[in-house]
Chain A
Amino acid sequence: MNWTDDEIDKLFQESASKVDVPYKDTYWNEMEAMLPRKKRKGIIWLWGGGLSFLTFAVAAATVIALSPVEQKPAGTGKTTLHSGTYESTQRQTEPETGIEKTPESHLSVEKQSEVTGNRVESTSNNTVKQASNTGAGTAPSGIITENSTPLFHPVHEPEATAVNEESTDQTILALPLNTLDFAQSDYQLIPMASFSGLKKKHGRIYVEASAGIVQSPVTPGSAAEWLPTAGIGAGYQYRPQGIGFSGGIALGGSFGNSLEITRRSKVYNFGATNYEQNLRYNQLYHVEMPVSVDFRKNNHVFSIGLTPTYLATTRMRFSQKENEAVVVEGSYWGQRVGLHSFGLKPAVSYQLSVSQSWYLGIRVESQLIPQTDAEQFIGEPARFPLSGQITLRKTLKY
Chain B
Amino acid sequence: MHIDTTILKACASDDRRAQKQLYEYCFKAFMPLCLRYHTNEEDARASLNIAFLKIVNAISTINCEEVNFNAWAKRIMTNTLIDEYRKTKNHLSHFQGKETERELDFLAESTRNNAENDFGYAAIMKLLTEIPSVSAKVFNLYVIDGYNHKEIAEMMEMSEGTSKWHLSTARKLLREKLEKMNSDIPQKMVI
Q: Are A12 and B143 in contact (CB under 8 A)?
A: yes
Determine the distance from Cα of A9 to Cα of B141 in the docked complex, in whole angstroms. Answer: 12
Provided the pairs A15-B121, A19-B121, A28-B23 are in contact, do residues A34 and B179 lie with their beta carbons within 8 angstroms?
Answer: no
Q: Mark A14-52, 1 if CB is under 8 A from B, else 0.
A: 111011110100011011101110110000000000000
**B36 — which chain A residues lie within 8 A by C-beta?**
16
B2-10, B24-32, B152-160: which lies at the A interface? B24-32
**B35 — which chain A residues lie within 8 A by C-beta?**
19, 21
| A222 at interface by CB-CB < 8 Å | no
Q: Are A34 and B122 in contact (CB under 8 A)?
A: no
Q: Are A16 and B171 in contact (CB under 8 A)?
A: no
Determine the distance from Cα of A2 to Cα of B178 in the docked complex, in whole angstroms. Answer: 9
Q: Given B23, B57, B91, which contacts A31 in the complex, CB threshold below 8 Å?
A: B23
Determine the distance from Cα of A31 to Cα of B26 in the docked complex, in whole angstroms. Answer: 12
Q: Are A16 and B125 in contact (CB under 8 A)?
A: yes
Q: Work out how many contacts link A and B, with CB atoms closer than 8 A.
A: 91
| A268 at interface by CB-CB < 8 Å | yes
- Rounded to whole Å, the gap between the CB of A26 and the closest CB of chain B is 11
Provided the pairs A8-B171, A8-B175, A23-B27 are in contact, do residues A1 and B49 lie with their beta carbons within 8 angstroms?
Answer: no
- Which of A12, A27, A38, A270 has the most chain B CB atoms inside 10 A of its CB? A12
| B88 at interface by CB-CB < 8 Å | yes
Determine the distance from Cα of A38 to Cα of B43 in the docked complex, in whole angstroms. Answer: 27
- CB contact list, B29-56 vs A, under 8 A: 31-33, 35-36, 40-43, 45, 49, 52-53, 56
Q: Are B24 and A28 in contact (CB under 8 A)?
A: yes
Q: Are A21 and B27 in contact (CB under 8 A)?
A: yes
Closest A residue to B178 using CB positions:
A3
Closest A residue to B175 using CB positions:
A3
Provided the pairs A1-B179, A19-B32, A21-B35 are in contact, do residues A30 and B121 lie with their beta carbons within 8 angstroms?
Answer: no
Sorting the interface of chain A by its residue count into under 10, 10 to 19, 20 to 34 or 35 or more gives 20 to 34
| B174 at interface by CB-CB < 8 Å | yes
| A105 at interface by CB-CB < 8 Å | no
Q: Are B175 and A38 in contact (CB under 8 A)?
A: no
B14-22, B61-69, B70-78, B109-117: which lies at the A interface? B14-22
**B31 — which chain A residues lie within 8 A by C-beta?**
21, 23
User: Is the contact region of chain B dominated by helix, strand, or loop, or is it mixed?
Assistant: helix
Q: Are A1 and B32 in contact (CB under 8 A)?
A: no
Determine the distance from Cα of A9 to Cα of B138 in the docked complex, in whole angstroms. Answer: 12
Q: Are A5 and B171 in contact (CB under 8 A)?
A: yes
- Rounded to whole Å, the gap between the CB of B18 and the closest CB of chain A is 12
Closest A residue to B42 using CB positions:
A268
Provided the pairs A13-B143, A13-B144, A30-B49 are in contact, do residues A38 and B14 lie with their beta carbons within 8 angstroms?
Answer: yes
**B52 — which chain A residues lie within 8 A by C-beta?**
31
Q: Are A15 and B125 in contact (CB under 8 A)?
A: yes
- CB contact list, A261-281 vs B, under 8 A: 268-270
Q: Are B49 and A34 in contact (CB under 8 A)?
A: yes
| A11 at interface by CB-CB < 8 Å | yes
**B122 — which chain A residues lie within 8 A by C-beta?**
15, 19
Q: Are A34 and B14 in contact (CB under 8 A)?
A: no
Determine the distance from Cα of A59 to Cα of B186 in the docked complex, in whole angstroms. Answer: 92
- Which of A16, A27, A34 has the most chain B CB atoms inside 10 A of its CB? A16
**B33 — which chain A residues lie within 8 A by C-beta?**
16
**A21 — which chain B residues lie within 8 A by C-beta?**
27-28, 31-32, 35, 41
**A2 — which chain B residues lie within 8 A by C-beta?**
175, 179
**B124 — which chain A residues lie within 8 A by C-beta?**
11-12, 15
**A5 — which chain B residues lie within 8 A by C-beta?**
171
Determine the distance from Cα of A269 to Cα of B49 in the docked complex, in whole angstroms. Answer: 17
Q: Are B27 and A12 in contact (CB under 8 A)?
A: no
Q: Are A38 and B16 in contact (CB under 8 A)?
A: yes
**A18 — which chain B residues lie within 8 A by C-beta?**
121
8 pairs across A/B with beta carbons < 8 Å?
A: A2-B179, A8-B171, A8-B175, A12-B128, A15-B121, A268-B43, A270-B91, A270-B92
Taking beta carbons and an 8 Å cutoff, which residues of A are in contact with B?
A: 1-3, 5, 8-9, 11-16, 18-21, 23, 27-28, 30-32, 34-36, 38-39, 268-270
Known: A8-B174, A12-B124, A270-B95. 17 other contacts (CB 8 A): A1-B182, A2-B179, A3-B174, A8-B175, A9-B143, A19-B35, A19-B121, A19-B122, A19-B125, A23-B24, A27-B27, A30-B49, A32-B20, A34-B53, A35-B53, A39-B14, A269-B92
The 9 closest A-B pairs by CB, nearest first: A15-B121, A19-B32, A15-B124, A21-B31, A18-B121, A9-B143, A270-B95, A3-B175, A16-B144
